[in-house]
Amino acid sequence: MKQKSPLLQREGAKTVLSSILSILIGLVFGSILVLIVAFSSESISPKGGLEGVSLVFLGLFSTGRDAAGELSFGFNPTSIGNMLFRAIPLLMTGLSVAVANKTGLFNIGAPGQYLMGTWASLTVALSIPTSVVPSWIVWTLALLAGMLAGAIWGAIPGFLKATRNINEVLACIMTNWIAANLVTFLFDISDLKNGAEAGKVGYIKPTAANGVATAKLGLDKLLPQSQVNAGILVAILIAIGVYILMNKTTLGYELKACGSNRHAARYAGINDKRNIVLSMAIAGSMAGAGAALYWLSGNTEFFWSTYQSLPAVGFNGIPVALLAANSPIGVIFTAIFMSLLNICGTQLKNLTAFNEYITDIIIAAIVYLSSFSLIIKMWLSSRGKKKTTESAPAPAAAGEKTGKENGK
């Protein structure tokens, strides 16, 4: 009977532990940075530094300051709801990067795919009159349009990789900037943009203006005064679907086989070119879905002057996938964690004397340190092998024991 390996020597356990250690190292680094800033600044007291550290770890549960001016903590439904809402695009772009990584490709084109999904979903949601078509059908069509637009945009680098062996990273970088300018142009010539209003220039009105908004399903009652909606549930269901696709179906096996060794997969009869294009299309559809679920919330305005910069959420999907070790289920938790960091940073800025730059540095440091999860996993593996070697019987002793038994 085969003996089970210890829990900490199993591959899944090492993956989870390495991600947790990366997060803890990042949080400790951020806390040290907060203390250094506090003790070197005349405007921030040592007590303010300790308050900053507490918000780094517990900012999600901060309820402000009490009558005595002390930080208070407890159940904060607004922060929790906003955390879940902001996790939606992170979850989907994390899935986009993870799917491509599983198939041996690096999808750095999620920002462009996200923008194309934004354009398609908003165009459908705001163009089809809900007086003629039920709003839930318009919402569904808008979501599918966002996924289709992202899939098409993701398939372009995949096609160039499969047919011309052009590096997908270079192709994705180019398609990112093409998407940024193309979306700007398409919104600029459309009838969907709003003029100047209350100091805002060049933006697309929320989809609620056409009666299209993601259902709340009671989450607004559970977490009042927040932006939470059923989009987070849809995103989780999509992540579960991707897990089933990649691990329980023939297509998923073929996609991963092409990622492991494209030439060996072709020798085994797998159409490697088709699967490369398909994997990037699936990755693009995930990023497009993230955009659709975010903008279809009904309470968000899209500023169409995107040529100035690419959406950061597309790039933030990379550390989300890294921390999750490209696991679709793990992406759910790492996306929520990254969103939690954002909430903690906002609380740190609003409730202490620290400015917004220190919070950005802390989040950036934690994101950067997330890339060390693979190194930590390798370290854990080497320690596990060392312990196994030390606990194994020496060859001489084993031989001596065998000789004694034969003598008997």
- Tens of pLDDT, residue by residue, the chain (408 residues): 445 555 555 666 767 777 788 788 888 888 888 898 888 888 888 888 899 899 888 989 998 888 888 899 999 999 999 999 999 999 999 999 999 998 899 999 999 999 999 999 999 999 999 999 999 999 999 999 999 999 999 999 999 999 999 999 999 999 999 999 999 888 888 888 775 555 556 678 889 989 999 999 999 999 999 999 999 999 999 999 999 999 999 999 999 998 888 888 888 888 999 999 999 999 999 999 999 999 999 888 887 665 567 898 999 999 899 888 889 999 999 999 989 988 988 888 888 888 767 777 777 776 777 667 667 767 766 766 666 666 656 555 555 555 555 555
CATH number at 299 reads: 1.10.3470
The residue range of the domain holding 68 is: 11-75+353-380
d(CA 100, CA 321): 10
The verdict on 91 and 66 lying in the same domain is no
Contacts of 126 (CB under 8 A, 6+ apart): 192, 204, 205, 207, 209, 210, 212
Residue 392 lies in a domain: no
Model confidence, pTM:
0.87
Q: How many CB atoms lie within 10 A of CB 149?
A: 29
Distance of CA 26 to the CA centre of its chain: 17
The verdict on 108 and 197 lying in the same domain is yes
The verdict on 318 and 238 lying in the same domain is yes
Two tokens, residue 262: 């494209």
The verdict on 321 and 359 lying in the same domain is no
Coil vs helix vs strand at 116: helix
pLDDT the model gives residue 1: 45
Residue 385 lies in a domain: no
Residue 395 lies in a domain: no
Task: Give which of 246, 214, 243, 245 is closest to 230, Cα–Cα.
Answer: 214
Structure-token match 């210890």, residue found: 6
What are the CA-CA distances from residue 344 to residues 61, 79, 259 (Å)?
9, 9, 37
Residue 400 lies in a domain: no
- Under 8 Å between Cβ of 353 and 43: yes
pLDDT the model gives residue 17: 78
Task: Give which of 331, 222, 215, 339 is closest to 283, Cα–Cα.
Answer: 331
The verdict on 70 and 91 lying in the same domain is no
What is the count of structural domains for the chain?
2
Q: Virtual CA dihedral for 295, 304, 283, 312, nearest 10 degrees?
A: -90
Computed from CA positions of residues 363, 365, 95, 290, in that sequence, does the dihedral angle turn out positive or negative? positive
d(CA 50, CA 23): 20
